[in-house]
Structure formats: C-alpha cells, structure tokens
A and B are shown apart, each in its own frame.
Chain A
Amino acid sequence: MAQKEDFEQSITQTAEPKKKKSDRKSDRFSLALDFRRNTELYFIFIPVLLYYLFFHYFPMYGAVIAFKDFAPSRGIAGSQWVGFKHFISFFSSYYFWPLIRNTLVLSISNLVFGFPAPVILAILINELRSKSYARVVQTATYLPHFISLVVICGMIVQFTRDNGWITHLLTLFGMPRQTMLNNKDLFVPIYVISGIWQESGWGSIIYLAALAGIDQDLYEAAEIDGANQFQKILHISLPGILPTIVILFIMRVGRIMSMGAEKVILIYNAAIYDTADIISSYVYRRGIIGTDWSFSTAVGLFNSLVNFILVISVNTLSRRLTEMSLW
C-alpha cells in the first residue's frame, strides 16, 4: 500500500516540470526574506498558484482509480483497492506489444516527417520576395488547421476509397486501384501526409515570428561576403531559429506516447488494426465504450510515465549537446 502511494506521489511531483524549477530556485535563498521584500509579487502570484492547485494538482488525486476498481456509485474513495491489477491486465494483453509498436511507429514517423515540415515551409515563405504573395501563401497553408478534424477525416476516408480522387490520381502513377485504407501499409503514410497538409501552415507561424526576429544586418553582411541564397539560409536563418526548433522538438518528444486517439479512430477500420490500432484508440474502445475507467486510467498513467522519461532524457541530451534546453 505504502509503495503504491509512493509511486502515486512520484507521479504527482514529476508530472509538472515547471513547478520543480521554481522549487529549486527557492532553495537557494531565504523564502521569508524574499517574501518580506516582494510581498506584492507574492500576492499577484496567488491566483496562478490557486489555478495550478485546483486545475492541475488536485485532479491528479483522481489518478488513484488506476489502482482501484472504480465504480461511480461508490465514488473514488469508496472504490476497492486492487493494486496493479489493471497494469498487469494491460501488460499481459494480447495486443500490448503490437500497440506499443504501432504507437511508436506512427508517432516517430509523424515526428520525423511532420516536425521539419513547418520549419521548411517557414523558411520558404520567408524567402519570398513579394510580401503580399507571402501573405496569401501563409493564409492558404494554415487554413486547413481550422477545419474540424471530423470533417478532415471524413474527407480523407472518402478521397482514398477505390473511387476517390486521390486514389484515382495515384493510379495514374502506377498504384493499383484499391481502397487505400484497407491496405495496412498505407495507413501510416496517409496519417502523416494528411497531418502535414493540415498542420504545417499553422506550425510555421511560430518559426516565421522567430525568423522575423533575426537581425537583417547579418543577411547584408553575408551578401557582401558573397554568400548565396542557400548559404544564407544554412548559416543565418537556421541557426537563428535553432533555439525555437529545439524547444518545440523537446516538447513534441514529450507527447510521443500520447498520440491522440481522435484522428486514428476516425480513419482506421478493422482491416488495418495491425498497423493502425494505437494505445489511445485501444483505450478508447475498452475504457470509454466498455466503461472500464480504472483500466483507462492505468494506461494513461503508464503513458505519462513513459512520456516523462522521454522528455527528461531528450532535455538532458540536448543540454549536453547543444547547451539549449527547456530547463
């Protein structure tokens, strides 16, 4: 029992990296002294503190149902303790390893191909001479972000049927006519490419802002030194936005295991579970449809734990290699 609570507590402490940072700072000097000096600031801080307590820390109490057989009628406190039953049930599931593999394959493909896309797009837009044309391109590329996911997925499914226009287009390049979403090898490309189409425009905004912040004198100096367009990108633009890239990358890695279920559920089908079924879609089928809340929570906790380890390691790695990190 004590062990479980310790585990619980460690989750509670570790799930909020920002908090840890401020704790560490406050160790170095006397809190009482600082309070006397900056009383007003501490008062201003109270609402923020309350926000985190009520909306981020207090709800974590609910995570204990991962170790209980939760029934709404008995409440969280009244439900029976069952230890690691739900974790064992997940780890020993027939689908455990396929799920982990699918989640990682999908997530990493999404990271490898999806992450650089907005960076490249931002640099391309930045290189455009005509500012009004650049604005048109920018608007056009980030518009898909505002279309509801349900609509997007409906379009994907429809366009990739054996009579859809994407399928039709690809058959001109030699692909056999088929219902693309019945082919398990095509699920990951469809998922990743549609993701790039939908989100890279929106994702490029932050890089464009970072690019705008680069000192124009640098480009002029480079030009005088005889640098061509490509060399300017390589030696000025990219290094200029590298901190942004690194921070966004670390944050992205922290979400590797928690691929959202929505898009997968909306486009997969039973024929391609082999590659398309990921942890969150499995949890959705079992937890939400089968009302097995404790089980879903246990898997959620497991996911958070893996994500947390990933963030810590990538952050450490990044600090060692590039001296840039989240904290």
Chain B
Amino acid sequence: MKRRILALCIALILAVSFAAGCTGNSNSKPNSGTTSNSSQSAEFSYPIPGNHTLTYFGKLHKNVAQQTSSYADLPITKLWFEKTGVTLEFNTPAEGMEKEQLNILLAGGNYTDIMVYSWLSYSGGLNKLLKDGVIQDITSHMGEWMPNLSKYYADHPDVDRQVKDDSSRYLCIPFLKQGRALLSTQGPNYRQDLLKETGLEPPQTLDEWEAVFVKIKELHPDIAPLTGTYNDICRFCQPAYGVSDTSWFVDNTKTVRFASLEDGFKQFITRMADWYSRGLIDSNFATYDVTTVNNVMSSGMGFATYGSSMDKYNAANVDNGDYLVVAERTPGLKPEERVTYVAQYEFGSNPFAVISTKCTEVEVAMRMYDWAFSPEGYRTLNWGIEGESFTIHDDGLEYYTDLILHNPDGLSTAQALAWYVMAGIKGPAMLAQDERYMIQYYSQPIQVEALQRWGDKDYEFRGFPPVSLTDDETSEFVALMADIDTYVESMCVKFILGQEPLSNWDNYVQTLKNMNIQRAIDIQQAAVNRYYAR
C-alpha cells in the first residue's frame, strides 16, 4: 500500500515537472534553459540586479514642465527607479514638439530603447514600424517577462483585443484607462444660473434643450444659446440620432457606417439648420476655434457648449455673482435614452510605449515596465508614496493627503500630483489609471457630478474601435479622406448656415459616392473585421 502511494506520488511529481519543463522550454530563451521555468519566476524579484540604464523618448508633460525640466527630478520617478533597479536616460521634448522630434529621431535611426508616443496616429501604425525595423515584437516574451501585464490582459479580454494587433501580436506596452469615469471627461455643459431664470428643469432630451434655448433667446437676446465649434455642435446633438458623434461608427451588426451619409445625420443637420435660422446656435460658430469658444463661455456670451473646460469658465467668473457652469448628459431623443456609438476605449487615446530594435536589454525593459502592473506598482504609480502623498483609510482605500489636494506651497492639485503620481502625467511609466484618482482629483462636487452625467451613455456599443490599417490601406485611405473630409465639413456647415438648401442633400450624397466613399468604407470594414477576429 505504502509503495503504491509512493509510486503514485513519484508519477505525479514526474508528470508535473515534465509539464513544467515543456512550457518552460517553449517560453524561455535557449540560454536560460538551465533553470526551469517554475523556479525562475519564484527566483525573480525586484529590484533587477545590475544597475541597468535604458534610454527613453517621450514628451515632457506640461504639468511637469511648469515645475522642473526632467522626469528624473520627480520623487515618484526616483521611487520607480529604486523599486525596479533600472534607470532611464530621458530625451523629453516639450509638449507639442514631440511629433517633429520623433520624426528626426526616426530619420536618424538612433532610436531610444523605449519610445512613447501616440502611435495610433502615426501613419501606418505599429505594423509599419515593425516592418521598417524600428520596434520589436515582444509577444513571445510576454508570459515570461511581463507576467503582471499578461495577467491583466487575461482578466480584461476587451483591453487585450484593443492592444494586440491583427495577427494577435503584442507590439507595445499600453497606457490604460481603468474605469468609466476616465472614459467620459467631456460632455455638454451649460450656465445653471441662466437655466434657473427660465424656470425649466435641466434638459435631458433634444426637445427639452430646444425649449430651454428658445427661452434663453427670449430673456437674453445677446447670449448665444448653443455655442461651440462645428465639431462641438456635432458632439452635442449628433449622437441623439444614433449616428455617433464623429464620421465613423460600427453598428450593432459590426458593419462600418460613414455617419455623414446616414439618414439620422440628415435629420441632425436639418434640425441644426432649423435651430440656426431661429438664432438658437451662435451665428459665428463656423469661425470659432477652441480658444474662442472658451472666451465666449468665460465672458458670459454663451449659454451651453460641449467640452471639458467648465472649470476654466467657473474659475474666470468666481467674482461674478451666480455664474455657474455645470455638466449635463449627452441628450437623446427620448428621456432615459442612452446615446450609442460615442463611448471611448480604455486604450489608444494616450501615448504608449514601444521597445525599439536598438534596445539590447529587452528583458530589463519589459520587467521594468511590468512592475507598474503589479499590485505594488499599480498603487505606487496611481497614489504615490504612502504617508506622504496618500494614506489608507478605514475602508481600506487610498486617499490623497493635503500635500496633493491643498498643497501648503500653493501648488494646484494638478501640479502637486505631477510630483507623486504618474496617473496624471501619463508617463514615463505605462500603467492602468485608477478611476478613483480622477474622482479625488476633481475635488468639487460639480466636477464629480459631471463625470457621472457625462458617463451616462451606452458602453456596449462604443465609438469607432482602435483598428489598424495596413501600409497600403493607410495611404489610399488618407488620400481618399483628405478630400472627403473637406467636402463633408464645408457642405454640412453650409447646410446649417442655410447657404446650401437641404434639397441639395441628394446631390451631396451623390458627390460623396463619386468621390469613392465606398472604397473608404470597404477599407475600414476590412480593418474592423480583422479587429473583431483578434
């Protein structure tokens, strides 16, 4: 009996170690084959020995640039270096210069080990960079050197799909927004003090907004009821008609639609033209850019707009009596209706990292960046140093201290955060942002309210996914869309201004077809199909 148990045990041990040996061999580099996989991951612990230094390229966030010249001066960066045992040498152009500097870097061929940029906006995307020999494919090492990130992907399959490419390869280390509060940082906002004068309830549907606008126009003929750029107006009212708030969306049958061709879009434009003719839309909207809209709102010449700058408007009017701008949800056609095809994705809107072919210590780079996705790294990069920048309250959650929220040296919350927290400055480490960071950062109740109201939209059918086009598709698509975008915008503005009668809508659609919009739709459809096949 004893013998049989012993034999069974030995057989089990053999089977287990055999299996472990198999996975170990398939995953690890040949030269690390001497130690078995299970013992290696048990052996590895931070900091990484050997005092490694890697080079880094990425913009210097403006909240840091206001206060110091390098990420290396920040306590949080020092802590990150200390914990991981790796130091970065920074090449950080000022915000706004990074595109130019990146092109110089790429043209010169002296890539840094780590390069952080909004790569989705780079023509041809990550695949082209891989093909041109700029970046490394890190897929085969993910399980071994980035166990924390791999686990994150396993726990969040949606994010996994967004990050990997069409051939299921991992070409980057992502910066992620975790939580819906982080996905809804923009939306409609309006003057609450003026709404009170009208005696109407906060508007929830387009019809209610119209009623409010009419009333505002009566009471204050000088104030533009709805102001903003053409894009702001689209994002305010277009989603109500079920056609996203930009040009492209994927409907519930996974079919790509060009919004500006849809019937819903025609209804939207018709309504806007009606509003414009009745003076409900700012008569100068076509000449506005973001700065002018901010001025119009801050100077009290506008009632409602779309965006994320309500804090600016309120700050400019602290001494101005009742003036208060608050947020409201994106309106639908019916009450309680949640607008579709507008929600953002967790990945893609922020700059993220790639490892270049010039990097010789890939393991060091991957392990360094993987630390951010470990429980310790997640807490440190989102909250900073315990006892200094945050404390843990009785509910077991992290809360920022007064050093951050009411800085004794008079720094603003954003500036104080920059020293201790990478969630706000979005670099140099890549991480998953904790949404509670944003909720605490927005200290005023109306800001927190805004996050909730703006977040009140459909998350099942989101905006256009972060697809990737191939090299050839990109150049064809860019060439097609250059003219189409110009045509659509100029025609739609003219429809709204009444310079082009709506009876010309069919001509407009026909011209778009002549400009080969179908080819552009086909390209997008192919990319979307590949995306959902990931």
Contact = CB atoms under 8 A, between A and B. Distances in A.
Interface residues of B, number: 33
Interface string B109-136: 1000000000000111000110011100
A291 interface: yes
Nearest to B478: A290
Given A162-B284, A270-B286, A291-B123, A182 B497 contact: yes
Interface stretch (B146-154, B420-428, B485-493): B485-493
Given A271-B494, A285-B482, A69 B475 contact: yes
Given A72-B103, A269-B493, A181 B287 contact: yes
A89 B489 CA distance: 21
Interface in A153-189: 157, 161-163, 179, 181-182, 184
Interface string A79-123: 000000000010001110000000000000000000000000000
B486 A95 contact: yes
A8 interface: no
Interface in B43-88: none
Contacts of B487: 94
A286 interface: yes
Interface residues of A, number: 31
Contact of B479 (A89, A157, A291): A89
B529 interface: no
A273 B483 CA distance: 12
Interface in A45-94: 69, 71-75, 89, 93-94
B106 A72 contact: yes
Given A72-B106, A73-B107, A182-B497, A270 B489 contact: yes
Contacts of A290: 123, 478, 482
Contact of B483 (A72, A94, A184): A94
Contact of A269 (B286, B492, B499, B515): B286
Interface string B171-211: 00000000000000000000000000000000000000000
Nearest to B133: A73
A161 B284 contact: yes
A37 B334 CA distance: 93
B230 interface: yes
B483 A73 contact: no
Interface string B84-100: 00000000000000000
A179 B490 contact: no
Given A71-B128, A162-B283, A271-B493, A95 B478 contact: no
A241 B10 CA distance: 108
A73 B284 contact: no
A299 to B, nearest CB: 12
A263 to B, nearest CB: 15
A271 B284 contact: no
B136 to A, nearest CB: 14
B252 to A, nearest CB: 31
A273 B499 CA distance: 13
Contacts of B494: 271
Contacts of B286: 179, 181-182, 269-271
B486 A285 contact: yes
B483 A95 contact: yes
A73 B134 contact: yes
B529 to A, nearest CB: 24
Contact of A73 (B106, B492, B497): B106
Given A161-B287, A285-B486, A271 B497 contact: yes
Given A74-B132, A89-B479, A290-B482, A274 B490 contact: yes
Contact of B287 (A69, A93, A179, A295): A179
Given A94-B487, A274-B490, A75 B107 contact: yes
Contacts of B284: 161-163, 179, 182
Contacts of A72: 103, 106-107
Interface in B488-510: 489-490, 492-494, 497, 499
Nearest to B485: A285
A163 B227 CA distance: 15
A179 B283 contact: yes
Contact of B490 (A75, A181, A270, A292): A270
A273 B486 contact: yes
Contacts of B128: 71, 73
A292 B499 CA distance: 32
A292 B490 CA distance: 22
Contacts of A69: 475
| Residue in B124, B132, B482, B493 with the greatest tally of chain A CB atoms within 10 Å | B482
A95 to B, nearest CB: 6
A181 to B, nearest CB: 5
Contacts of A181: 286-287
Contact of A71 (B124, B483, B489, B497): B124
Contacts of A162: 283-284
A179 B128 CA distance: 45
A93 B483 contact: yes
A157 B287 contact: yes
Contacts of A184: 499
A199 interface: no
B340 to A, nearest CB: 26
5 contacts: A72-B106, A161-B287, A181-B287, A270-B486, A286-B482
Given A179-B284, A269-B287, 18 more contacts: A71-B132, A72-B103, A72-B106, A73-B134, A93-B483, A94-B515, A95-B486, A162-B284, A179-B283, A181-B287, A184-B499, A269-B493, A270-B230, A270-B489, A271-B490, A271-B494, A291-B122, A292-B478
